[in-house]
Structure 1
Amino acid sequence: MSGLCNPRNRPGDERGEEVRGGVAPRVTVLCVGNLLLRDEGVGIHVARELLKMDLPPNVRVVDGGTEGFGLLDFIWESDRLIVVDAVRGGQEPGTLYRFRPEDVKEGRQLRLSFHDLSLLDVLKISEFADRRPETVILGVEPARLDMGMELSPEVARKLPRLIQMVLEEIHREPEGG
């Protein structure tokens, strides 16, 4: 299912509608994870809920699955990037996270879903190419990573709040604007 997005906002679409003072930034909500490993699939559960909503036309929701380099086009075509994933930060299961790539210290790697390479590596490549959008990462500490498609109770309870955090980011004013 990776790479699916809301049909009105596929890669290459023009920016969103006119807004006060200019054109709305292209916002990509990149939901990643492995749906077959319970809480590892939380990003995909978020994508499914967001795709049911009437989001602004400049917002693209992408089910990134477990892709790595395959997501570069989605990242590079965005002005703002909101990543949703399971984050193993060593806290209690169900703990919610919000951070920016630059908040992660060198040598301390929060574990994210990208299997072949880390999300931070993909973002470093984007930065090196001078194509990294303003980025925020939202996630939840997983409780269970065994085979299964249902979220653990700890993560399922946090799903509505995680979705609300994504909506808040979508409607947040861009930095410097």
Structure 2
Amino acid sequence: MKTILCIGNILMGDDGIGIILGHLLKKKGINCIICETDISLINEVINNSEQLIIVDAVNFDLNPGDIVIFNNFEFYSSPILQHDLVFYKNKKTTLFGIQVKDIDYRIGISSEILKNLKVYLNYIIKLYNSN
């Protein structure tokens, strides 16, 4: 079973992009898990999946809205992800990351990221439907 995990925090600006994409995926009939900040609450669901696709905000100092995709992603304690994902080290995992413009105390996503929602959705759906 494949699992899409959309994580983020809508109170921290661009960090909420994973949550927004999760809701849009659900509207398209794609089964995904939406989790704000504490993914330890869904350990059993994630551990029972064969493949995990993580949708999250990242900071690689790229242009805001740029996409990074890492297949066979390995978890380390690093500032790449904004959330603690160290528990799932031995899982076949793909990271679909979106470069943030900023993460600050505010509600709303930067226009540079919002304008690409359709592109992000198409990429995620393609990843989900691939082998």
TM-score of the aligned structures, taking structure 1 as reference length: 0.67
* 1:111 counterpart = 2:66: no
- Number of the residue aligned with 1:166: 124
Which deviations, in whole Å up to 9, do the C-alpha atoms of 1:139-172 show, x marking residues without a partner? 1110121222211011112222111111001110
* 1:36 counterpart = 2:11: yes
Secondary structure of the corresponding residue to residue 164 of structure 1: helix
Distance 1:54 1:62 in 2: 12
- Number of the residue aligned with 2:106: 148
Distance 1:64 1:95 in 2: 22
* 1:74 counterpart = 2:45: yes
Percent identity between the two aligned chains: 26
Q: Is the 8 A contact 2:4 2:53 kept in 1?
A: yes
Q: Is the 8 A contact 2:19 2:34 kept in 1?
A: yes
Distance 1:144 1:62 in 2: 24
Secondary structure of the corresponding residue to residue 30 of structure 1: strand
Secondary structure of the corresponding residue to residue 51 of structure 1: helix
Distance 1:112 1:136 in 2: 13
Which deviations, in whole Å up to 9, do the C-alpha atoms of 1:89-124 show, x marking residues without a partner? 12121111100324x7x78x352131xxx32x1222
The amino acid that maps onto 1:30 is L
- Number of the residue aligned with 2:63: 92
Higher relative contact order (CA 8 A, sep 6+): 2
Secondary structure of the corresponding residue to residue 115 of structure 2: helix
Distance 1:165 1:45 in 2: 15
Secondary structure of the corresponding residue to residue 87 of structure 2: helix
Unaligned runs of 5+ in 2: none
Distance 1:147 1:160 in 2: 25
Secondary structure of the corresponding residue to residue 92 of structure 1: coil
Unaligned runs of 5+ in 1: 1-25
Q: Is the 8 A contact 2:47 2:88 kept in 1?
A: no
State the structure with more CA Rg: 1
Q: How many residues align?
A: 130
